[in-house]
């Protein structure tokens, strides 16, 4: 039986809902902006559909861009 995969879009939406409930609107806006920029950083490379598609090297690549 293949391992279950976590839909990235759904995971982001759930996480942002938690942020919206617990933090200020500014904090929510900043976190959403960073997530959007992270996904845009893939450029023409296929964007991840699942959380498990994100590689450890993706975060440092984004941070150093």
**What's CA 27's distance to the chain center, in Å?**
15
Continuous H helices in 1-65? 8-22, 25-40, 58-63
Q: Tell me, what DSSP letter sits at residue 42?
A: T
Residue 51 near residue 8, CB atoms below 8 Å:
yes
pLDDT tens sequence across 2-39: 789 999 999 999 999 999 999 888 899 999 999 999 99
Q: Hey, where are the domains in the chain?
A: 1-43
pLDDT tens sequence across 34-63: 999 999 998 888 889 999 999 999 989 898
């Amino acid at each position: 039986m293949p391992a279950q995969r976590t839909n990235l879009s759904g995971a982001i939406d759930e996480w942002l809902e938690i942020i919206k409930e617990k933090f200020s609107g500014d904090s929510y806006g900043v976190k959403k902006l960073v997530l959007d920029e992270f996904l845009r950083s893939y450029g023409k490379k296929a964007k991840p559909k699942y959380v498990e598609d994100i590689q450890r090297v993706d975060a440092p690549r984004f941070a150093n861009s």
